[in-house]
A = this chain, B = another copy of it.
Amino acid sequence: MAKKLTKYILAEKDMPTSWYNILPDLPKPLPPLLHPQTHEPTILPPPLFPAALNDQEFSKEHFIEIPEEVQEVYKMYRPTPLIRAYKLEKALGTPAQIFYKYEGVSPAGSHKLNTAIAQAYYNKKAGIKRLATETGAGQWGSALALACQYMGLECKVYMVKVSYNQKPYRRIMMETWGATVIPSPSTETNIGKQILAQDPNSPGSLGIAISEAVEDAFSRDDTCYSLGSVLNHVILHQSIIGLETEKQCEMAGVYPDILIGCVGGGSNFGGLAVPFVKDKMKGKKIQIIAVEPSACPSMTKGPYAWDYGDVAGMAPIAKMFTLGHAFIPSPIHAGGLRYHGMSPLVSHLHKLELIEARAVDQKATFESAIKFARTEGIIPAPEPAHAIKVVIDEALKCKESGEKKVIVMGLSGHGHFDLGAYELFLAGKLEADAYSEDNVKKALSQLPKVDYVESK
């Protein structure tokens, strides 16, 4: 019997040496970012980001070379494997072929490291000595902590206080990699002090933590700010996921009928999808599904509208699917998917009907995660468990129809630090999803009034 291959592994020499930038290939240009006060087209706030990243944000190049030094660090864990889910297929009794691209092999445990390394590199090249950022559950903070350590930069992480107290392991991980982590709101920034003056017991929020990190970066010449999702240059860096997946599908002799990824800020999904979206724009038949939580359904329920990128209304305004910057999603365990809006680029792809969106319920995602863990072994993070749910749905449709579809999924990270949520699920104590139409309506009533008209 010929041995079936389980893992499709690229050689280091076959790792992509350029990122793919979809911007110049779009059939209709991406709407600009607008200044939060003037509503005029703007770039990323310059002192916050080095020029190289601002250039990448709006680049017209189709491919951007990955600097040698970044490639070298990537090779400590990349190329990541594409794995055939034989055991899951068998358990489902599906004729579909299921593959997953596993980014959890990165030392930080998720795809976030791909952009963290690149961002730390460009900041170092620009003479920056220190990066400031925020983190909620800690995925992004830990990726940036490690990337700064690799590149010899200092790293300051403002961690939402409630997570700081509830998720000590992620904090210790960042500290192990040499970052300074403080609970937000802190007394180290003016905004933090103001909030603590009003409420000394404030649990913090991602919005507050962003404001603190931005203030930190503004206040010091040696420091820039770093963002782990949403922006074009982040999706650019993450395109290495999709580029590798394409090559690995070739190795496996397949092309996906369906490509599935979870979507929060959009960087994991965007990075996986863009090379395949390019194929689709050229006429290739492929269904590309972004999966979001039903507790935060920006693409399935939100309008495509101008909205602030941040809660405080200080970040640029972007055209995106949004539930309103004032919308606060219920505290689902997939913290990485709790963003009020959606990456402008992913939003644009959705508007152009190059991708589709689906929302799934938290309980169903954990059911699917358990099925995955008990067949494939890997315990997924709650975020990619959303993608797994839709993979299983599609595989079961194939079981009914008899279709032998090829389903490829992005498995963005492992759930080693999310086992508390698994325990709640296993004990039948997982909170029901809360989604309030009323809250969304209220939040949407606070969208900025923007008169900007896009040129044709």
Contact = CB atoms under 8 A, between A and B. Distances in A.
Nearest to A85: B76
A355 B237 CA distance: 47
B6 A75 contact: yes
Nearest to A77: B377
A7 B169 CA distance: 28
Contact of A176 (B6, B86, B370): B370
A7 B3 contact: no
A105 interface: yes
Given A9-B9, A13-B3, A76-B83, A416 B374 contact: no
A63 B11 CA distance: 30
Interface stretch (A120-128, A281-289, A326-334, A417-425): A417-425
A83 B72 CA distance: 13
Interface in A1-49: 3, 5-7, 9, 11-13
A416 B105 CA distance: 13
A417 to B, nearest CB: 7
B373 A150 contact: no
Contacts of A172: 419-420, 422-423, 426
A60 interface: no
Nearest to A373: B176
A75 to B, nearest CB: 4
A7 B11 CA distance: 9
B107 A379 contact: yes
A423 B168 contact: yes
A445 B105 CA distance: 48
Contacts of A5: 12
Given A168-B423, A172-B422, A379-B107, A149 B374 contact: yes
A404 interface: no
Contacts of A13: 3
B173 A379 contact: yes
A366 to B, nearest CB: 10
A177 interface: yes
A178 B12 contact: no
Contacts of A423: 168, 172, 175
Contacts of A374: 149, 176-178
Nearest to A168: B423
A2 to B, nearest CB: 10
A398 to B, nearest CB: 22
A13 B109 CA distance: 27
A377 B12 contact: no
Interface in A359-416: 370, 373-374, 376-379, 416
B7 A373 contact: no
Interface in A62-85: 72, 75-77, 83
A153 interface: no
A-B pairs with lowest CB-CB distance, top 4: A107-B377, A6-B75, A172-B419, A416-B416
Interface of A: 3, 5-7, 9, 11-13, 72, 75-77, 83, 86-87, 105-109, 146, 149-150, 168-169, 172-173, 175-178, 370, 373-374, 376-379, 416-417, 419-420, 422-423, 426
28 contacts: A3-B13, A6-B12, A6-B72, A6-B75, A7-B12, A9-B9, A9-B11, A72-B86, A76-B376, A87-B150, A105-B105, A106-B377, A108-B377, A109-B416, A150-B377, A168-B423, A169-B419, A169-B420, A172-B419, A172-B422, A172-B426, A175-B423, A175-B426, A176-B373, A176-B379, A176-B419, A176-B426, A416-B416
